Amino acid sequence: MKRLEQLYEGKAKIIYATENPDLVIQYFKDDATAFDGVKKGTIVDKGVINNQVSTKIFQYLEENGVKTHFVEQLSDREMLVKKLDIIMVEVVLRNVAAGSICKRLGIEEGKQLEPPTLEFFYKSDELHDPMINDSHIKTFNWATEKEVEILRAQGKKVNELMVAFFKQRGIRLVDFKLEFGRHKGEVLLGDEISPDGCRLWDMATGEKMDKDRFRFSLGNVEEKYQEVYNLVCGQGK
Ligand code: ADP
Ligand code: UDP
């Protein structure tokens, strides 16, 4: 499948058209941003790692009944996906308190959250992705009531599957963000699932293995992304 014109360039990926109007190519870059683009940098080979890790996870989710946009991995940095009309609502699942929930609610980092929480954020860089609820989604027509039900049910299911997936590999899945979109009357899981959009802690040492290492300049960023890659995509997994 050949890459045609660029449709969109985001902070971490470029979207290209293909000869098939229903399919697009996601090209994974090494560019890294944090704090709404205020901090910018590069994580060497992040694009390659995130493409392989996302591929592995999308395949695992599909095998377990989750409908995703994934079609096939085309190269080191390219993934062929179904073209989505992206729902402008980010779905965040949390198993352990970290990041914005700690600040917002005064919760101590590391607290186990039982049951896990599901939050909605409006996908808008200019507004700094504000937290929203079902009533905002309905009033502003970001999604229908039926779609919101799907976001909740799929979010919960993906969380259960991913907690088990990472646990088998010695990784604690702290939290993560999902994006969904519409394709031919269906709601599919889109975007990527990688250390850029998940918090992943080493179960043995508690060490952070995700983009927080870049956000907070913790060092060994490339090494930890590589470790996640080895654990997720390594031999025998
Ligand atoms: P951002 O837009 O936040 O800077 P990226 O750099 O990751 O993010 O860019 C990828 C963009 O492509 C995102 O805006 C995402 O919502 C969108 N996207 C993800 N999957 C698809 C898809 N299957 N079809 C169309 N757009 C998609
Ligand atoms: N996240 C993301 N993109 C966003 C916002 C959050 O991928 O625009 C991910 C983030 O990496 C973390 C989870 O969603 O795994 C929860 O993020 P949080 O709300 O704690 O915000 P942050 O601390 O990243 O500002």
Q: What is the pLDDT of residues 127-159, one digit of tens each?
A: 999 999 999 999 999 999 999 999 999 999 999
**Ligand with smallest separation from the Cα of 175:** 2
Q: What confidence category does residue 219 fall into, taking pLDDT thresholds of 50, 70 and 90?
A: very high
Domain assignment present for 101: yes
Q: Does the beta carbon of 46 lie inside 6 Å of ligand 1?
A: no
Q: Please tell me the predicted confidence (pLDDT) of residue 206.
A: 97
Which residue range forms the structural domain that includes residue 130?
A: 85-220
Domain boundary among 82, 99, 128: 82
Q: Identify which of 31, 36, 72, 84 to mutate to test ligand 1's pocket (most ligand atoms within 8 A of the CB).
A: 84
Q: 61-68 long-range contacts, Cβ below 8 Å, gap at least 24?
A: 61/158, 61/161, 61/162, 61/189, 64/161, 65/157, 66/154, 66/157, 66/158, 66/161, 66/189, 67/186, 67/187, 67/188, 67/189, 68/188, 68/189, 68/190
Same domain, 103 and 216: yes
Nearest ligand, CA of residue 83? 1
Q: Is residue 1 part of a domain?
A: no
Report, as an integer, the average pLDDT of 26-50. 96
Q: What is the CATH number of the domain that holds 39?
A: 3.30.200.20
Mean pLDDT over residues 68-84, rounded? 98
pLDDT at 108 over 90: yes
Quote the ligand 2 centre to 18 CA distance (angstroms): 30
| pLDDT of amino acid 51 | 98
Are 71 and 119 contained in the same domain?
no
Average pLDDT over every residue of 41-68: 98
Mutate to test the pocket of ligand 1, among 46, 86, 179, 193 (most ligand atoms within 8 A of CB): 86
**CA 233 to ligand 1 centroid distance, Å:** 23
CATH code (residue 211): 3.30.470.20
pLDDT of residue 1: 85
Q: Does residue 184 sit within a domain?
A: yes
Identify which of 1, 11, 15, 20 to mutate to test ligand 1's pocket (most ligand atoms within 8 A of the CB): 15
Q: In terms of domains, do 53 and 115 share one?
A: no
**Distance between CA atoms of residues 191 and 84, nearest Å:** 9
Ligand 2 atom showing the smallest separation from residue 197 Cα: 7
Asked if residue 112 and residue 67 are part of one domain, the reply reads no
Q: Does the pLDDT of residue 188 top 50, yes or no?
A: yes
Q: Which of 54, 82, 110 is the last residue of a domain?
A: 82
Number of domains forming the structure of the chain: 2
Residue minimizing CA distance to atom 5 of ligand 1: 10
Examine the pLDDT at 237 and tell me if it is beyond 80: no
Task: State which H helix or E strand residue 217 sits in.
Answer: none
Q: Which residue owns the Cα nearest ligand 2 atom 10?
A: 197
Residue 236 has pLDDT above 60, yes or no: no
